[in-house]
Amino acid sequence: MYHSQETEILPKPVSKQSPDSIIRIMQSIATSMKRITLDEGPISEVHAFWLAGMSCDGCSIAAVGAKNPSVDQLLKAAIPGLPKVILHHPVLSVTAGDEFIESYHKAKQGKLGAPYVVLYEGSVADESIAEKFGGYWSAMGTEESNDGTHQPIPTAKWLNDLAPEAAAVVAVGTCATWGGIPAAAGNVTNSMSVMDFLGKDYLSSLGLPPINIPGCAPVGDNLTETIASILMFLVGLGPLPEFDGLGRPAWLYKDTVHRGCVRAGNYEEGVFAKNHGDKECLVELGCWGPVVQCNMVSRGALGHNGGCMNTGGICIGCTMPGFPDAFAPFYKAPPGTIVSGVASKTVGSFIRPLRKLTQGKNNLTERWKKEGQVPSGWGHQKHGIVEKVSGYFYSKLQGAGTEFKPNSARQKKLQEKGHSFLKKNIAEKRIEETV
């Protein structure tokens, strides 16, 4: 049974600094950098403390599936110039019990002797609610309480204690970044995101507000790549990575998932799946991809494989702050589909046949065109009158405004010139060889 020594662990500012402007953040970063890199010498090691709140551990699985860079590469300092990452993870670390938790205590007491980052997975529950019932929501390690017994330490308390001196606090996954499923309507645990918990004035010792890597689970590479970018900045090898107004790495979350979707061509031509398992665009089955900021499909879920629409799943908006309520009920076409879907179908009904014609024209070699058929047992594509006429006009348009006109008099003249040049050279070569 948990008895907290603190009366409550609720959101409160852990830093007195206030981010009035980007300039102020940058000044704070410059001061912190000076302190970390110059006063304490070059950085060879950075500790990473993993904490899990109201989580399913899916974000941990996603992280270990990262490839570019991999967790392994970060731990072995295999990336030139980057410091070695010493990961403290309740599931992945080989140590356990007091030995495992010792480094957390050292960091809290300022005795670690190296910079550290905090990685928080899951949402942060209101431990004061659990305390009323004599329990806790999420905890790791124990400490001696007032009555002399050892009681679990909530991860919310660890976050509160470790965040002020952390070089960066990274919220991993949608529960940590926005609150996620535990913070959905109802929310009996009063769960919240890391940034809600730390408060709007929070800045890390490096001068950074919480960094958010959303996704349920996020793309593992999004996490490891962001960590590598921060480390690069920390050791002075790179600029501060670009983050958007919600603390997301801008280069990873700027675009919608729709833009990188393998089915986007179907959407554009107004071809939609009717049933799960169909290969066309899934928007009429409830896909929210056109408005959801995520790179899951272009990057792949684990080890660059999978990813929602790549494997037949619709986008349910899991990277977005409104998730899950704003995207529910799942598997129902978003209302916007009525307008955009009809528009795509209308445009597509013109575009598709035209593209088919062009495709037919470009699927023929010059020789086959002359012969009027493809000489293969695989098929007997005839080059009919429709294809011939449309192909003729298409080629005219294609070459309009340029000097390139296949089979034109000029083209033939150039070809003849080329042939006579070759003939002349061959003849001269023969004479040389004879001599």
Query: Which residues lie near ligand SF4 (CB under 6 A)?
Result: 257-258, 261, 263-264, 267, 281-283, 287, 289-290, 309, 315
Q: How far is the CB of 324 from ligand SF4 (least distance, A)?
A: 17
Q: How far is the CB of 399 from ligand SF4 (least distance, A)?
A: 34
| SS3 label, residue 152 | strand
Based on CB atoms, which residue is closest to ligand SF4, 46 or 316?
316
Task: Please state, in angstroms and rounded to a whole number, the distance separating the CA atoms of residues 67 and 171.
Answer: 20
Distances from the Cα of 93 to the Cαs of 45, 48, 89, 120, in angstroms?
A: 17, 11, 5, 16
Give the H or E element holding residue 51.
Answer: strand 45-52
Task: Please state, in angstroms and rounded to a whole number, the distance separating the CA atoms of residues 180 and 403.
Answer: 60
Q: What is the largest CA-CA distance in the chain?
A: 111
Q: How far is the CB of 268 from ligand SF4 (least distance, A)?
A: 8
Q: Which residue is nearest to ligand SF4 (CB)?
A: 289
End-to-end CA distance of the chain: 104
Q: How far is the CB of 308 from ligand SF4 (least distance, A)?
A: 8
Q: How far is the CB of 263 from ligand SF4 (least distance, A)?
A: 4
Q: Tokens 């076409």 map to which residue?
A: 333
Task: Please state, in angstroms and rounded to a whole number, the distance separating the CA atoms of residues 212 and 203.
Answer: 14
Q: Are 242 and 88 in contact (CB under 8 A)?
A: no
Q: Is 358 left (phi over 0), alpha (psi -120 to 50) or beta?
A: alpha
Q: How far is the CB of 256 from ligand SF4 (least distance, A)?
A: 8
Length of the chain: 435
